[in-house]
Structure 1
Amino acid sequence: MKHGLKVVEDAAHALPTTYKGKLIGTFDSDATVYSFYVTKTIATGEGGMVVTRNKKVSERCRVMRLHGIDRDVFNRYSSKKPSWHYEIIAPGFKYNMTDIAASLGIQQLKKARAFQKRRSEMSAYYDRVFGDLPVVLPPKAPEGDIHAWHLYVLRLSDKAPVSRDRFIEMMAEKGIGCSVHFIPLHIQPYWRDTYNLKPQDFPNALHLFERAVSLPLYTKMSEKDLKRVVEAVRNILG
């Protein structure tokens, strides 16, 4: 990479996003990291995946994911060395994915495009029906590329009749859960207190945070579910 820097892509929410026709994770970065937590675009319940073209990075990840042991379980039982023998060559962690989770992931991966298609359809519907409200709609993917639509985040404008927090409360009163993605780090206690930060130190992040709200978006949503969300949003903001 230019200047000798190492680049690790955080693609936790991105699968199967493309940029300039290429799938995220196939660029020239040193590694790309995906999350398969239950709320992500494909899920294994917990866990994730690292992809890399760099053999040294790959080997290091394999060692560090399981206590720093030099061979994984399959290698131990297929090696010419006695199966009980292993060596700890680094201060590793317990980060290996379970076989059951991996089997779920293999099946989920086959459905990734179908999941994205459904999320895209729901997001397009939201865009159509919210266009006249006092909100800023989410950005779209460039022409010819794919947006993962992991989240659908509305930004309430200054003309909205209620605050973001009140909007979430009113949606909850209607039995519809919303969330906020994400809370800026500089107002989280650790960074705030460690570095003596104030909310106003990052005014743009604060401004966006105070107005952002994530609406329900998941592949099992029915048309009835979608219309219920839309009716509630329009009732509050219309």
Structure 2
Amino acid sequence: MDPERLAAAITPRTRAVIPVHFAGLACRMDAILELAERHSLAVIEDAAHALPATFQGRLVGALDSRATVFSFYATKTLATGEGGMVVTHDAALAQRCRVMRLHGISRDVFDRYTSRALAWYYEVVAPGFKYNLPDIAAAISIHQLKKVRAMQQKREAMARRYNEAFAGLPLKLPPGPPPGEVHAWHLYVIRLADDAPVGRDEFIQRMADLGIGCSVHFIPLHLHPYWRDTYGLKADDFPQALEAYRRAVSLPLYTRMTEADQERVIAAVRQLLAG
């Protein structure tokens, strides 16, 4: 998120700012938080990609935002298979999350089974959801958390190897972190240059022909039928997102990837782009 463009987008109807730490690189949170405070806006960080990224030496999730949301899906640095976590400094918001995560019930489920006073009684105080992280997934996450630094360091080493191997090719490398900061490297996203010998879609197909799966992160929301049709959006309404999407390719990057796996990817990319 570009803080200057954010400033221009704020209107009297704006209530919150949701910066996305895309691919594991933290946004410029100092400028975003300052701007939000000036306009009395809540900041909710989308940190699905960002554990254990840092900004100005502080972990994402420990900044001064109203809340930060993490994802523990199978592809993330810390993975439980599914689920996620909300962290906040706001005690009232934390309590609201606890109520809303499990059907709007007023008492925590463990309290209902361990309390000696009317253990069976509870009240539904809000129209809640079924958003609780399953106990087994939570148990897995505790042990995954012990490994998160080592897993991030391996991803960082693989990203560095890619950067070195792709230097000079007709593509744009993903931005790295500022000096001293931590990039989670959830994704490794290249953007093909205008003079690349193949277009994005052909590149992905030919990589698949070579036995290597790639993806695109992400198809912009305004191109999807619901958002496009509901709000009458056109493809060029969001030119930055559209331009990034048309060139973006996510290459394989995962903690159990071996050097041999990565060398296969590097060789295939060079075969298609080196000319």
Aligned to 2:16: none
For residues 38 and 16 of structure 1, the distance between their equivalents in structure 2, rounded to whole angstroms, comes to 16
Residue 50 of structure 1 and its aligned partner are, at CA, apart by 0.5
Among residues 142, 159, 167, which one is paired with 1:106 in the alignment?
A: 142
In the aligned structure 1, how far is the partner of 2:38 from the partner of 2:71? Answer: 27
Q: Distance in 1 between matches of 2:100 and 2:237?
A: 37
Instruction: Report how far residue 219 of structure 1 moved.
Output: 0.7
The residue that corresponds to 1:226 in the other structure is: 262
Provide the residue aligned with 1:196 in structure 2: 232
The equivalent position to 1:158 in structure 2, one of 194, 199, 205, is 194
2:59 to 11, 16, 23: 23
- Choose 99-108 or 82-91, whichever is displaced more: 82-91
Please give the per-residue CA displacement for 1:38-95, whole angstroms capped at 9, x wherever unaligned.
1111111110000111110111000100111111121112223222111111111111
Which residues of structure 1 form unaligned runs of 5+?
none
Q: Secondary structure at the match of 2:179?
A: coil
3-state SS, counterpart of residue 87 of structure 1: coil
| Percent identity over paired residues | 63
* Amino acid in structure 1 at the alignment position of 2:136: I
Which residue is equivalent to 2:271? 235
Q: State which of 210, 216, 237 in structure 1 corresponds to 2:252.
A: 216
Give the Å deviation of 1:102.
Answer: 0.2
> Is the deviation greater in 15-24 or in 69-78?
69-78
1:69: which partner in 2? 105
CA distance in 1: counterparts of 2:117 and 2:103, whole angstroms? 20
Number of equivalences: 238
Structure 1 residue ranges (4+ consecutive) displaced by more than 4 angstroms after TM superposition: none
Match of 1:36? 72
CA RMSD of the aligned region, Å?
Answer: 0.9
The letter of the residue matching 1:167 is F
Using the TM superposition, give the Cα deviation of residue 186 of structure 1 relative to its aligned residue in structure 2, in angstroms: 1.3
SS in 2 for 1:62: helix
Distance in 2, Cα, partners of 1:4 & 1:168: 44
- Cα deviation code 1:97-154 (max 9, x no counterpart): 1110000111111111011000000000000010110000000000000000000000
User: How far apart are the structure 1 equivalents of 2:238 and 2:41?
Assistant: 26
- Equivalence for 1:186: 222
Q: Which residue type is aligned with residue 157 of structure 2? A: E
**Secondary structure of the equivalent of 1:111?**
helix
Counterpart-to-counterpart distance in 1, 2:149 and 2:258: 18
Kindly report which structure 2 residues correspond to 1:85-104, keeping only aligned pairs within 5 A, or say none.
85-104=121-140
CA deviation profile, 1:162-196 (whole Å, cap 9, x unmatched): 00000000000001000000011111111111122
| Equivalent in the alignment of 2:170 | 134
Q: Which residue of 2 aligns with 1:167?
A: 203
TM-score (norm 2): 0.85
For 2:49, the aligned partner's letter is H
TM-score of the aligned structures, taking structure 1 as reference length = 0.98
Tell me by how many angstroms 1:201 deviates.
2.2
